[in-house]
Structure 1
Amino acid sequence: MQLDIFADSRDVMLRNDVVSALQRYDARETQQSLKRLSDDYPDDDSVPQLTVLADALDLRSAAAFSGHSAAAEARCALVEETTPAALRMFGERAGTQWLVPLWQELAQRASLLPFRATSIDTHAAALWLQAGAWSAARDAVLTIESWRRIPAPVTWMAEASYRLDALEATWPLLAELAWLAPDRFAGLVDRLGDKSLDLLLKKFHAGFEGAGDSTDIAWFPAWVLIEKPALARLLGVAQPSTQTSPERAMRLLLELLSLERQGRHFDLLDCRKKLQGLHASLYACYMSTR
């Protein structure tokens, strides 16, 4: 039997028509091309995924969300339905890029929603981060009253800072986040994938004897001053947080480093006793380098 190249490639042509329209974000042409494909090839494996993407284009809107529930519904559809379909049809890199305008749209529509601790995923800052719009995310965080005392906004700001200005400028925010929400700090570090930060954390976990749970991370800003004293100029500008023991330990280490430079031995001994009283393992790490 001779192969009819035209007949056997028609499904490919029709499928490509749909994909091309999707890539242009042309909702009308996407639906028309999809109808031609599904009419001629109703059993085509790509039809269900293409239908999801076509419907996502049809549902696009610039109208502000009426509330957090409406924003949550739209976000859920984007995460649970549209995203898997886009990644399957376009591949991870191209699919992620195709989703960017949709995330931007959700962020813009959520821009007037106030921060609500029970609906953090629908705040504009979180949505801007999903879109890779780092400056917009930072601006959105700044609209939140007392954001520096709330775990989620500090996390968003730290990520935006890292993406915009790299690790050095982000150290103060990382310290504040570690004290405020150690679990969020750990999650952010995983997401950032910074090799130098990952290596420091690996060394910290190997040498620090703490409670053996996620709360140990709160001591990381203090420990890192022992490992990298040059970070004192950066960590020294971290804003006062909740005055927990890990925060006080970092402040003590900043003082110790200053006293060492000044050669004030009497004051140095007193400060060391305070550090030992806060955490024996951290004190042992410090003394091992002296």
Structure 2
Amino acid sequence: MTPEESDALVHDPQGGMPRLIEIMRRLRDPDTGCPWDIEQDFASIAPYTIEEAYEVADAIEREAWGELEGELGDLLLQTVYHSQMGSEAGLFDFHSVANAIADKMVARHPHVFGDESRDKSAEQQTRDWEAIKATERARKAAHGVLDDVALALPALTRAVKLQKRAARVGFDWPEIGQVVEKIVEEAHELAEAREKMTETEVFEEFGDMLFVMANLARHLGIEPEDALRSANAKFTRRFIAVEAELRAKGKRPEDSDLAEMDALWDKVKAAEKAV
């Protein structure tokens, strides 16, 4: 592509993916690109990739449809960024990335793109999907049951994925009641740890309890990250309402005490439930 053709594409408002790919190539050009972009590598960009994925999820959760287009664009830019760095290193490029995911989707949906029947339940489809993924892992020589569960996942999400993998080979409690009993056991151990154990041991016991809580969420069919985000939103909403109640009295939280704020919290909670 000549410099003139590159400029024309970069400034073409209808240039689509070729435009975005060319913009990133220009940003990373070692002679004429952006100094900050040139300095980046996979590791330094990875945190931005994670952040952008969360911002997409946040826009969806808030139903901020006017923002979603921009957030998806920000996330797409991350794929283009990593693809450009891959191209520079001779590893892969955007087109090979796109082809790889397309190949994977076709292979994992033989009931749509192949000759398998579409007459199957969602549960059967999930089992088939997991079987195909297991075959793919075997081809990659991933021999351990827990191999390739990404380390960078949010801890609760990774806990559920680890537990799902273990459950496939029968390492799982068959009844929810057994999980609840384990939570009670871990809670007692944590209470004892607080009184008798070192800070490191308390840390470990707390982690064990969270891990079992994630297991309970899995047995209940709940995504723990979603449940915790919902609880965070509820706490934020109610605390803001408590602050509003205090402002109506000419006070701030720091001018109040626990008893007063607790009473206001109960009032806000009751008002929410009455709606």
Shared fold (TM-score greater than 0.5)? no
Higher relative contact order (CA 8 A, sep 6+): 1
What TM-score comes out, normalization by structure 2 length? 0.31
What TM-score comes out, normalization by structure 1 length? 0.30
